[in-house]
């Protein structure tokens, strides 16, 4: 049983404000330690359920946050700048289930802790007309590659969104949002126990054939609303994308893999302008 784990930071217990998630902030090392703790919990839970190989993708910011020496030595760690970002390493890995740790609600969510989608640029993102976030877009890409998402861990707002998009997945809640820059978290040790249990259940259920890939059909349309028209113009400059409405870039393609890649590229372009 090969298990893929994508680890973000904003959804980790004990992290309730954007500042500590910035590598330049004084409390960033504390945030990294919390991130490592939940990553290790997921790794251990996966192996407890029979995993034979675990790849961890560092999926926050510039994607070299996790301290390798502190990570469970049974897992492999993928870090650095990656074309496929938060799902890099999964496409050709023949993984049987994916686990999302430290994830968060979509851009524009009214209460989700540090809610955003792939950058601070989009104010809302939609997949085939339905608002979604990184969890949905990433699950769509993984689904196109035959990989189901078995667990998503983060705050209560995320869990509610995931229930709509990935109802089969284990939903682990480690904190409750209180506005977008505040949250009430369980203690880190409690969060790790919850993540461990969720990962173990997810891997066992995947082995039993109880998980499903997210199939959104064809064609696939991703739309991103931006705060300024200029930003949408730049995002829509990617080949095949189009500018619609007041501040929206639309990425419509025949398949999920192409749409996902186009959105990533367009959003990276959007993030270069103010």
pLDDT tens-digit map of 100-155: 999 999 999 999 999 999 999 999 999 999 999 999 999 999 999 999 999 999 99
Query: To the nearest whole number, what is the mean pLDDT of the chain?
Result: 97
pLDDT confidence bin for 228, thresholds 50/70/90: very high
**What residues pair up with 53 in beta bridges, in sequence order?**
2
* Structure confidence at residue 274 (pLDDT): 83
Three-state SS at 73:
coil
Residue bearing tokens 């999920």: 256
Q: Are 8 and 104 in contact (CB under 8 A)?
A: yes
Domain boundaries, the chain: 2-122+131-207, 220-270
**What residues pair up with 97 in beta bridges, in sequence order?**
3
Distances from the Cα of 101 to the Cα of 172, 244, 262, angstroms: 9, 34, 25
**Distance in angstroms (rounded) separating the CA atoms of residues 45 and 193:** 9
**Distance in angstroms (rounded) separating the CA atoms of residues 251 and 52:** 37
Q: Quick check: 272 pLDDT over 90?
A: yes
pLDDT confidence bin for 40, thresholds 50/70/90: very high
**Distance in angstroms (rounded) separating the CA atoms of residues 250 and 262:** 10
Q: What is the pLDDT of residues 4-26, one digit of tens each?
A: 999 999 999 999 999 999 999 99
Angle formed by the axes of helices 134-144 and 156-165, nearest 10°: 40
* Structure confidence at residue 21 (pLDDT): 98
Q: What is the pLDDT of residues 236-253, one digit of tens each?
A: 999 999 999 999 999 999
Nearest CA-CA partner of 211 in 55, 106, 100, 58: 100
Catalytic residue list: 116
Question: pTM above the 0.95 mark?
Answer: yes
**Distance in angstroms (rounded) separating the CA atoms of residues 251 and 102:** 27
* Structure confidence at residue 93 (pLDDT): 80
The architecture in CATH of the region 2-122+131-207 reads 3-Layer(aba) Sandwich (3.40)
Tokens of 262: 């186009």
């Amino acid at each position: 049983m090969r298990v893929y784990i994508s680890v973000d930071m904003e959804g980790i217990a004990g992290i309730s404000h954007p500042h500590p998630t910035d590598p330049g902030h004084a409390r960033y090392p504390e945030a990294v330690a919390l991130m490592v703790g939940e990553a290790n919990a997921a790794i251990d839970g996966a192996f407890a359920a029979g995993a034979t190989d675990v790849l961890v993708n560092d999926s926050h910011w510039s994607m070299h946050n996790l301290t390798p020496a502190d990570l469970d030595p049974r897992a492999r760690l993928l870090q650095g700048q990656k074309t496929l970002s938060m799902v890099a390493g999964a496409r050709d890995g023949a993984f049987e289930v994916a686990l999302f740790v430290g994830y968060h609600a979509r851009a524009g969510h009214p209460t989700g802790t540090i809610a955003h989608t792939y950058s601070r640029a989009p104010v809302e993102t939609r997949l085939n007309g339905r608002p979604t976030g990184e969890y949905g877009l990433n699950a769509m890409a993984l689904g196109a590659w035959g990989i189901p998402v078995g667990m998503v861990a983060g705050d209560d707002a995320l869990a509610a969104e995931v229930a709509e998009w990935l109802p089969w997945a284990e939903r682990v809640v480690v904190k409750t949002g209180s506005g977008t820059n505040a949250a009430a978290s369980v203690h880190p040790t409690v969060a790790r126990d919850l993540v461990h249990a969720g990962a173990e259940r997810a891997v066992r259920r995947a082995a039993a054939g109880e998980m499903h890939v997210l199939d959104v059909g064809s064609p696939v349309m991703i739309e991103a609303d931006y705060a300024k028209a200029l930003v949408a113009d730049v995002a829509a400059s990617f080949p095949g994308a189009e500018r619609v409405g007041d501040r929206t870039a639309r990425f419509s393609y025949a398949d999920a893999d192409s749409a996902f890649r186009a959105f990533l590229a367009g959003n990276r372009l959007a993030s270069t302008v103010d």
